[in-house]
């Protein structure tokens, strides 16, 4: 049963998935010149390897056109790590995580 101020309704079995926003930490410049970010759930929760496939990292130079960064995400002690080896090729670069 689901209810809100507008009323309530019953249905057959349903699956509810609550996605918690991710929050990027301060970027780290690695020795090879690439950028890395650690991300965790906004509520402080940690991720497991089962969560990794749900995320896609994307980059943009203009906040309009977004390019996927395949293989850029890894899991590091429960935190997502986004590593962009091509970051040095751009004067400015923006990142986002898309959860599927």
DSSP codes of every residue in the chain: -EEETTEEE--S------PPPEEE---EE-TTS-EEEEEEETTS----HHHHTTEEEEEESSSSS-EE-TT-EEEETTEEEEEETTGGG-SS-EEEEEE-
- Is the pLDDT at 46 greater than 90? The verdict is no
Mean pLDDT on 42-52:
78
Domain boundaries, the chain: 20-99
Please state the pTM of the whole predicted model: 0.67
* pLDDT, average across residues 3-13: 86
Report the pLDDT averaged over residues 60-84: 88
CATH architecture, domain defined by 20-99: Sandwich (2.60)
* Average pLDDT value for the chain: 83
Q: What is the pLDDT of residues 12-33, one digit of tens each?
A: 887 777 777 777 778 778 787 7
Residue 84: the pLDDT is 86
């Amino acid at each position: 049963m689901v209810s809100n101020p507008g009323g309530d309704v019953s249905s057959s079995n349903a699956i509810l998935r609550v996605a918690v926003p991710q929050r990027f930490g301060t970027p780290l410049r690695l020795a090879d010149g690439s950028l890395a970010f650690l991300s965790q759930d906004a509520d402080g929760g940690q991720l497991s390897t089962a969560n990794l496939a749900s995320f896609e990292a994307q980059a943009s130079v203009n906040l309009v056109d977004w390019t996927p960064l395949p293989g850029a995400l890894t899991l590091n002690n429960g935190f997502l790590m986004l590593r962009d080896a091509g970051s040095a090729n751009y004067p400015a670069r923006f990142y986002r995580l898309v959860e599927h």
